[in-house]
Amino acid sequence: MSLPFEVSPGRPGLCVLLARKGWIWLGPIFIFAGMAMGQTTEKVDPFKNSDRPVPANYKGPIFHLSHDYPTARPDPPVDPPWIKALGGKPISQDNALAYVKALKDYIAADMRKLILDYANWNADQAGWYNMPWLFSITEPIHGTYVGSSFPHTMFPLSGLKKDMTTLVVVYYDRTAGYTIGQIWGKDAMKPDLSRAQYQEGAIIVKVALTTATKEEWAPMEGAATWDIGDGGPNPSKAAFFQFDIIVKDSKTAPRTTWVFSTLVYDKNARGDAWDKMIPLGAMWGNDPDVNSAINPNVPLKENVINPMAPLYATETLGYGGRLSGPNDGAIVQDAIIDGDLVPRVTVSSCMSCHGVAENPMRSFLLPGPGISNAQGGISPTAQGDLMYLDKPGSVAFLQWFQDRPGTEPQDSGTQPLDYHMNLAFKALPLWAKFTGQDPGQIYARSPAGLRELLLHPESSSKTGRLLDRTH
C-alpha cells in the first residue's frame, strides 16, 4: 500500500496525491517550497479552505473556513436554557431529553441556515468557527470530510442496501472558538496544548451526512441533502442524518465535565428537515459502575436513549446500550477477541471513544490494541484487517469506560485534550505531517494499529480502519 502523499523537508516541491477511490478525491497539494543555502523552507496555509477544486458545474456558495477566533475569554453562561430545562434537578433519565431539546432550540436559528439555507450562511458573522489544518481532507462546497465508511451489513434491521460513506463538518461556537484560537494562536504553527481545556458553556456541533440515498436506505426518505465537491465536474449528494451537540457543563456533569448528545433524522417526525432531527439520546458519563457485559439488564444512570428514536439509529447503539450514533462506529464486525473471531460486537460509546483525546494518543479509539497490520504489526501471524479488541467487561476493556474530567488523560504521561477528537485524531496528525514533525518520535508509544492511523490522517477513520485500505 502506498501513502496518500508524502511531505518531507528533504523533498520540496509539488506532491501529487494519488486518488484511489473514485469519490474520495485527494489532491493535488501544492507545497510552496523554497531552497536557500541547502536549507528547505516549506510554507503551507493552515487556514486554507480546501485543496480540492470546486466542481466545474457547481455555481452555488462554497465553504469558507471561519477562523477569526474570539480573543476575549468568555464568561460562563448564567443560567443557560439547557440547565434551566433540568428543572433544578440533577440530570437523569427524566429530564435529559428536555436538556437536549433546549440545546437544539438554542442553536436552531443558526443551524437551520447552515443546513437548509446555505446561501445565507455566514459562519464568521454568526459566530461559529472551524478547525485549521484540515484542508487536505476537506471538500470545497461544505467543508466536509470523510468520517467513516460502513459496509451495508452494519445496518441489517433497517435494510441498508449499499456500503456507505459518511461526511462530517465540525463547528465551534464563540465560547469553544475562543479555545481553538488559544490552542493555535495567529499562525497555527505551534499548538499550545496547555490551553486545550474548554470554558464552561462551550458548544461544539458536528453535522453528519451519508452517501446512502433514499433508494439505498429507506430511512433517508425526505432527508435534506447537501452538494459535495468530490472531484468530479458535478457535485454529488449526501443526506443529512446525524447532528451531534456537545456542551461543556461541569455543573450538570461534574464527573466528566461534558454532556454529549445527538440528534438523528426521523422521516416520520413533523416539520422541515431540521425539525425532523430528533434526539437519539444523551450521555454525561460512561456508567463505569455498570458492567454491562456481565449485567446487561442493570439500567444505566448516566445515559438516556429516546424510546421514540428510529430503528436505523438504535441498531448501532454503543456498549450496553450507551449512546452512539449511526455515524459513529461503536460496533465492530470481524473482531478478534481472546483469539476468537467475533462477527459483530458492540464496544464503544460517544464518551468512551472521545476519552482517548490526548497527545500523543497512546490508546486506540476502541478498547484494545486495534488493527493488526502486516508491516511490523501487533502480531507477525496476524492477518488482514481483523481488529484486535479487549473482551467486553474485562479490566482492560473498562479502561475505556471510566468517568474522568477533561483535564485527565486516559494514559498518564500524555496531555489531556478535553475529549476533543477533531484535535487529537485529525488536526494534530495533519499539523504534524505538514510541519515535518518526526512521527517516529511522537507516535513511538502508540500501539501499531493506532500509529498507522495517525501516520495517515487523510485516510484514517474513527472506526479504526484506513478508508482506502485494500483487503
Q: Least distance (Å) from ligand HEC to the CB of residue 129?
A: 12
253 sits near ligand HEC (criterion: CB under 6 A): no
CA–CA separation, 230 vs 338, rounded Å? 41
Using alpha carbons only, give the angle 135, 192, 403 rounded to the nearest 5 degrees: 95
- C-beta closer to ligand HEC: residue 67 or 462: 462
Pick from 209, 353, 428, 432: which binds ligand HEC (CB under 6 A)? 353
Pick from 142, 462, 465, 468: which binds ligand HEC (CB under 6 A)? 462
E strands, 174-294, in order: 203-210, 225-228, 236-248, 258-265, 277-283
Contact stretch for ligand HEC (CB under 6 A) within 66-74, 259-267, 406-414, 449-457: 259-267
165 sits near ligand HEC (criterion: CB under 6 A): no
DSSP state of 397: H
142 sits near ligand HEC (criterion: CB under 6 A): no
**Which of these, 351, 335, 340, lies nearest to 465 by C-alpha position?**
335
Count of C-beta atoms within a 10 Å radius of residue 309: 19
Using alpha carbons only, give the angle 104, 108, 112 rounded to the nearest 5 degrees: 130
Pick from 155, 425, 431, 434: which binds ligand HEC (CB under 6 A)? 425
Window 355-394: residues binding ligand HEC (CB under 6 A): 365
How does strand 203-210 pair with strand 164-172? antiparallel
The three cell numbers locating residue 215: 433508494
CA–CA separation, 153 vs 161, rounded Å? 8
CA–CA separation, 316 vs 283, rounded Å? 15
Q: Least distance (Å) from ligand HEC to the CB of residue 251?
A: 19
CA–CA separation, 74 vs 65, rounded Å? 22
Window 291-350: residues binding ligand HEC (CB under 6 A): 323-325, 328-330, 348, 350
CA–CA separation, 425 vs 329, rounded Å? 15
Pick from 154, 263, 336, 421: which binds ligand HEC (CB under 6 A)? 421
422 sits near ligand HEC (criterion: CB under 6 A): yes
Q: Least distance (Å) from ligand HEC to the CB of residue 60?
A: 24
- C-beta closer to ligand HEC: residue 179 or 213: 179
Q: 97-136 mask for ligand HEC (x: CB under 6 A)?
A: ----------------------------------------
Give the CA-trace dihedral at 363, 378, 449, 166, to 10 degrees. -110
Report the interface residues with ligand HEC, using CB under 6 A.
147, 168, 170, 204, 206, 244, 246, 260-262, 323-325, 328-330, 348, 350, 353-354, 365, 419-422, 425-426, 462
